[in-house]
Amino acid sequence: MSGTRRDSTPPVIAFIGIGLMGRPMARHLLAAGYPVRAQNRTAAKAEALVADGAVFAATPAAAAEGTDIVIVMVSDTPSVEAALFGPDGVTRSLADGALVIDMGTTAVMATREFARRIAERGGRYVDAPVSGGQVGAEEKTLSIMVGGAEADVAEAMPLFQAMGRRVTHVGPVGAGQVAKTANQMVVGLTIGAVAEALTLAEAAGVSSAKVREALMGGFADSRILELHGKRMVERAFTPGGKVTTQAKDMHQAADLAQALGLDLPALALNRDLYDRLIAQGDGALDHSALIRLFVRQD
Amino acid sequence: MSGTRRDSTPPVIAFIGIGLMGRPMARHLLAAGYPVRAQNRTAAKAEALVADGAVFAATPAAAAEGTDIVIVMVSDTPSVEAALFGPDGVTRSLADGALVIDMGTTAVMATREFARRIAERGGRYVDAPVSGGQVGAEEKTLSIMVGGAEADVAEAMPLFQAMGRRVTHVGPVGAGQVAKTANQMVVGLTIGAVAEALTLAEAAGVSSAKVREALMGGFADSRILELHGKRMVERAFTPGGKVTTQAKDMHQAADLAQALGLDLPALALNRDLYDRLIAQGDGALDHSALIRLFVRQD
């Protein structure tokens, strides 16, 4: 069996993980004409997607059986491992030459290991984590950061274009997760920068709203200043991206830095700040709530 | 004498400090029809501006004599103090009700003190630091962050519009400098964020150019990622904004935080990193050279 499809019938897509992100992504694939076999740990979550035309599969193994493309969109690295290699995981039924695409945020070293184990079973692997959140998933405006072999990425490209807007092939397997890690680092540290700057302004008796406005359009401008800076000014911390998720990402980045023998002090500090934020009970808030660490709670 | 001009003859502008920034700014005022009396510590630097129509003044006192508006554009807080209150400073000849506008980056607490001393001598004070660098000054695209009384800012507004693009009245005297401090903090810390993220990518064996590309357009996007991130990828550190200037600004911000009783740990760390960069001999490079701290120099 060839790894690259030659016929023009759209391939059946096994889609593992139909949560807040996976559901709209799978829906875009259905809309683009792909048959989708959907699997989720909580079966009830697949109902709306079945109404949209997906076929429900009880286990990852059942979803992957006889398909050439398996997309995994689950919450963390252990969940990816379970979906792929667990007792009823994808590898129980993986077709020879099938392409496994992990679109979640998964640790870099684990990704390289998973790709090796999938290759041992005759499969191929692409990592393609996304940025843009639930809104991006729904509005098809996700950024997709892709790691994998040239031919595999080319094969997956029509799927990515059906689910997102900006697709970048960063490098070989794992490179997509490296880019995602870098993305989360820059997000966390820039939130920290804006939080400390606006705190200083307020403590100096100046309107943080006016300071934010003065900074926009200049060298200090960023998506974070625009979106998260606004939330800080208004103290409006409904997520968005949760503190607990940001903390998890910063730990993942710091662990990778350590594994590579790098001393990255601002990353280590930011990770500790997010841990402190969780410790003070703010874990469920939007990650822009970091500013609550620096403000006297009076 | 009234503080607000009623006639339509453009007022004579005393312009103290005709350096890399001040020269093009004063030239825009000349082009807008304002008579300019220019003063500089190094007289030779005023020559080109005299050729453009400015009148040279030997001292700040001589420049300010009989004028209603005095702009100060010098390098640091002690230089502002000397220009205003020194032996041949502006206050030796300050006209009653004259407006002093400090457009340099000056410490917040000192700014409030200077304004008080100018008011004691019958003058008015506006702080209006700029962002955008020499290119912004030349191309008239500066962001101008303004602190001062409503009427004084309104009077200065036509001058600001002749020199920059984005003018924000942030609040009372000192608020412009608070915004500039916040601006420099966000710039320094965002440079640090991008530097650590690209370092991690490179250490993980991935192209920092591709990672930067993958991050642009998403939540991690910023002017710093675009401009300074590119310099980091290319290891092209011709300034731009110098490491020594960034370090000075971070010290100024950290000193203000301390004076306000604030603990801002990412700011304190970033200040120390810039100090280390100077210690390793990189002070004259562009501030994006911060990435050189994290890379094994092999």
Given the residues A45, A140, A180, A242, the one annotated as active site = A180
Question: Looking at residue B296, what is its pLDDT?
Answer: 55
Residue B132 and residue A166: Cβ atoms within 8 Å? no
Residue A294 and residue B264: Cβ atoms within 8 Å? yes
Same domain, A168 and A183: no
Whether residue A6 is contained in a domain is answered as no
Tell me which residue in B201, B217, B223 faces A222 most closely, judged by beta carbons.
B223
Same domain, B61 and B204: no
Same domain, A168 and A188: no
A189 contacts in B (CB within 8 Å)?
189-190, 192-193, 196-197, 266
> Which chain B residue shows the shortest CA-CA distance from A148?
B206
Question: Looking at residue A7, what is its pLDDT?
Answer: 57
Q: Is the pLDDT of residue A3 over 70?
A: no
Residue ranges in chain B whose pLDDT is less than 70: 1-7, 295-298
> Which chain B residue shows the shortest CA-CA distance from A203?
B260
Range of the domain at A94: 13-172
Whether residue B148 is contained in a domain is answered as yes
Pick among A196, A213, A231 to test the B interface (most B CBs inside 10 A): A196
> What is the C-alpha to C-alpha distance for residues B38 and B40, in angstroms, rounded to an integer?
7
B248 labelled catalytic: no
Question: Looking at residue A93, what is its pLDDT?
Answer: 97
Question: Looking at residue A296, what is its pLDDT?
Answer: 55
pLDDT in tens, B250-281: 999 999 999 999 999 999 999 999 999 999 99
Whether residue A275 is contained in a domain is answered as yes
Secondary structure (DSSP) of B42-97? SGGGGHHHHHTTPEE-SSHHHHHTT-SEEEE--SSHHHHHHHHHSTTSGGGTPPTT
Whether residue B2 is contained in a domain is answered as no
Same domain, B151 and B200: no
Question: Looking at residue A152, what is its pLDDT?
Answer: 98
> What is the C-alpha to C-alpha distance for residues B156 and B166, in angstroms, rounded to an integer?
14
Whether residue A136 is contained in a domain is answered as yes
Same domain, A38 and A136: yes
What CATH number should be reported for the domain holding residue B210? 1.10.1040.10
Question: Looking at residue A263, what is its pLDDT?
Answer: 96
Q: What percent of chain A has pLDDT over 90?
A: 89
Same domain, B251 and B128: no
Task: Tell me the average pLDDT across A255-262.
Answer: 96
A263 contacts in B (CB within 8 Å)?
294
**In the listed set A118, A146, A172, which residue is the last one of a domain according to the structure?**
A172
CA distance B297 to chain A (A): 13
Task: Tell me the average pLDDT across A250-266.
Answer: 97
Question: Looking at residue B3, what is its pLDDT?
Answer: 44
Whether residue A47 is contained in a domain is answered as yes
Whether residue B185 is contained in a domain is answered as yes
- Could you tell me the pLDDT band of residue A41, with boundaries at 50, 70 and 90? confident
Given the residues B45, B140, B180, B210, the one annotated as active site = B180
Question: Looking at residue B170, what is its pLDDT?
Answer: 98
- Averaged confidence pLDDT in chain A: 94
Same domain, B147 and B194: no
Q: Is the pLDDT of residue A224 over 70?
A: yes
pLDDT in tens, B67-86: 999 999 999 999 999 999 99
Same domain, A73 and A138: yes
> What is the C-alpha to C-alpha distance for residues A252 and A227, in angstroms, rounded to an integer?
24
**In the listed set A116, A138, A172, which residue is the last one of a domain according to the structure?**
A172
Same domain, A199 and A235: yes
Same domain, B25 and B159: yes
**In the listed set B145, B172, B199, which residue is the last one of a domain according to the structure?**
B172
Question: Looking at residue B38, what is its pLDDT?
Answer: 96
- CA angle A194–A196–A200, rounded 5-degree value: 115
Same domain, B23 and B135: yes
Q: What percent of chain B has pLDDT over 90?
A: 89
> What is the C-alpha to C-alpha distance for residues A67 and B155, in angstroms, rounded to an integer?
72
Question: Looking at residue B297, what is its pLDDT?
Answer: 43
- b/e burial code for range B180-216 (CB count within 10 A of at least 16 → b): bbbbbbbbbbbbbbbbbbbbbbbbbebbbbbbbbbbb
B169 contacts in A (CB within 8 Å)?
210
pLDDT in tens, A72-101: 999 999 999 999 999 999 999 999 999 999
Q: Is the pLDDT of residue A60 over 80?
A: yes
Contact (CB, 8 A) for A29 and A6: no
Same domain, B212 and B146: no
CA distance A295 to chain B (A): 9
What CATH number should be reported for the domain holding residue B29? 3.40.50.720
Pick among B131, B153, B177, B189 to test the A interface (most A CBs inside 10 A): B189
pLDDT in tens, A118-133: 999 999 999 999 998 8
Question: Looking at residue B2, what is its pLDDT?
Answer: 42
Contact (CB, 8 A) for A170 and A176: yes
Give me the number of domains chain A comprises.
Answer: 2
> What is the C-alpha to C-alpha distance for residues B182 and B235, in angstroms, rounded to an integer?
27
Contact (CB, 8 A) for A185 and A55: no
Query: Residue B41, exposed/middle/buried by CB under 10 A (0-12, 13-18, 19+)?
Result: middle
Whether residue A238 is contained in a domain is answered as yes
A294 contacts in B (CB within 8 Å)?
262-264
A260 contacts in B (CB within 8 Å)?
200, 203-204
Task: Tell me the average pLDDT across A13-29.
Answer: 96
Torsion of the alpha carbons at A52, A20, A118 and A36, rounded to the nearest 10: 0
